[in-house]
């Protein structure tokens, strides 16, 4: 039985340490396997409970983050407790010579992990003194990495909402962005805007790869929701790239870079278990550009181009729906903002 406890304790500690280091230190690795599934389950449970209450959904991100931290410390605590149970007389009571109970063993590991100093129990001389030192070291490592991780995540949440607000400031619909920059002959200053937004989106992509928990930080305000803002942004890029004749587009490099940034963001959605929608959303409103006096290609040509983007646009709609939003314009979405 003692050998079983030793093996089980080592196994639990290996799993939790790997998941902790994977999640907090491996930037390109996203979250660890354990944390990834925990985040997904927690988000689904909160969505089921929240229904159409945005304020409840706004608690999802903090709750998912806390659940991850609590799981790490619980497994770390449990792993060391089971490991100490695997050693015959690994601990002794400095005040009572009786056998050590599970509660007492749990208490000893707790004050060792949280570096609370000496308690009423002490390890036997030899290897168990070294194991106790490792227990304390793992606790210090956990606290340091966890605090750093939380601060980094909160900084990334602020950046993500600032990016969404920047796009929302240009307009609520994809056509607004183009109409605002059209001066009667060209899209004045649009290239600079696209470059700036692309840079911010690239930062957001890097943050999502490093901290997949960002997917679960929900904002009750649509203007601060990246999912909806990215959909608006990409629809504007689609209108500009495929709906406006080439001679009027200008800034082709900025346009290509912006579309590439959006695709990079969509590529991060696997870590959040976001699935493409069954059907693509409604086509962008090219007629609105004509009404604003902006030259456009024919409806047939535009339709052919949009049809070729079916996979990309279905993923965008899946992103918007998973965030409990409506598609910009109010069609084919999920619940209201």
Looking at residues 291-309, what average pLDDT do you find? Answer: 93
Q: Is 187 helix (H, G, I), strand (E, B) or coil?
A: strand
Q: In the CATH hierarchy, which top-level class contains the domain 2-146? A: mainly alpha
Looking at residues 189-208, what average pLDDT do you find? Answer: 92
Looking at residues 198-204, what average pLDDT do you find? Answer: 95
- Domain residue spans of the chain: 2-146, 154-322
Calpha distance 169→192 (Å, rounded): 15
**Contact between 254 and 195 (Cβ < 8 Å):** yes
- Which residue, chain included where needed, has tokens 């003194």? 129
Q: State yes or no: pLDDT of 70 exceeds 50.
A: yes
pLDDT in tens, 106-143: 988 998 888 776 667 888 888 888 998 999 999 999 99
Write out the two tokens for 172.
């609520």
Which of 34, 32, 138, 33 is closest to 83 using CA atoms? 138
Contacts 24+ apart (CB under 8 A), 84-87: 84/9, 84/108, 84/109, 84/128, 84/131, 85/2, 85/5, 85/9, 86/2, 86/3, 86/4, 86/5, 86/6, 86/7, 86/8, 86/9, 87/2, 87/6, 87/124, 87/128, 87/131
Q: For position 90, what pLDDT does the model report?
A: 80
What is the DSSP pairing of strand 91-93 with strand 121-123?
antiparallel
Q: 280 pLDDT band (50/70/90 cuts)?
A: very high
Which of 217, 244, 222, 243 is closest to 232 using CA atoms? 222
- The model carries a pTM of 0.82
Write out the two tokens for 247.
């001679």
**Contact between 133 and 103 (Cβ < 8 Å):** no
């Amino acid at each position: 039985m003692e050998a079983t406890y030793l093996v089980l304790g080592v196994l639990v500690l290996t799993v939790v340490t790997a998941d902790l280091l994977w999640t907090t230190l491996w930037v390109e690795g996203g979250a660890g396997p354990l944390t990834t599934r925990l985040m997904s389950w927690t988000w689904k449970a909160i969505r089921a409970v929240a229904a159409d209450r945005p304020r409840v959904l706004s608690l999802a991100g903090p709750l998912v983050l806390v659940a991850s931290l609590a799981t790490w410390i619980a497994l770390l605590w449990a792993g060391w407790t089971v490991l100490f149970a695997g050693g015959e007389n690994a601990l002794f009571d400095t005040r009572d010579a009786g056998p050590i109970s599970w509660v007492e063993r749990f208490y000893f590991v707790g004050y060792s992990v949280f570096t609370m100093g000496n308690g009423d129990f002490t390890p036997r001389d030899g290897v168990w003194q070294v194991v106790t030192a490792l227990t304390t070291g793992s606790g210090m490592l956990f606290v340091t990495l966890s605090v750093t991780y939380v601060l980094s995540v909160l900084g990334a949440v602020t950046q993500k909402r600032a990016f969404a607000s920047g796009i929302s400031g240009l307009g609520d619909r994809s056509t607004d962005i183009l109409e605002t920059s059209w001066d009667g002959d060209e899209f004045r200053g649009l290239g600079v805007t696209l470059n700036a937004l692309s840079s911010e989106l690239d930062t957001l992509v890097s943050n999502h790869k490093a901290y997949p928990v960002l997917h679960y930080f929900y904002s009750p305000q649509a203007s601060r929701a990246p999912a909806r803002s990215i959909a608006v942004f990409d629809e504007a890029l689609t209108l500009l790239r495929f709906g406006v004749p080439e001679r009027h587009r200008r800034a082709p490099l900025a346009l290509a870079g912006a579309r590439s940034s959006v695709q990079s963001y969509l590529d991060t959605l696997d870590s959040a278990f976001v699935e493409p929608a069954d059907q693509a959303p409604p086509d962008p409103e090219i007629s609105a550009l004509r009404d604003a006096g902006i030259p456009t290609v024919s409806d047939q040509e535009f339709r052919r181009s949009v049809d070729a983007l079916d996979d990309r646009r279905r993923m965008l709609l899946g992103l918007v729906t998973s965030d409990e939003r409506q598609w910009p314009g109010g069609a084919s979405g999920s619940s209201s903002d």
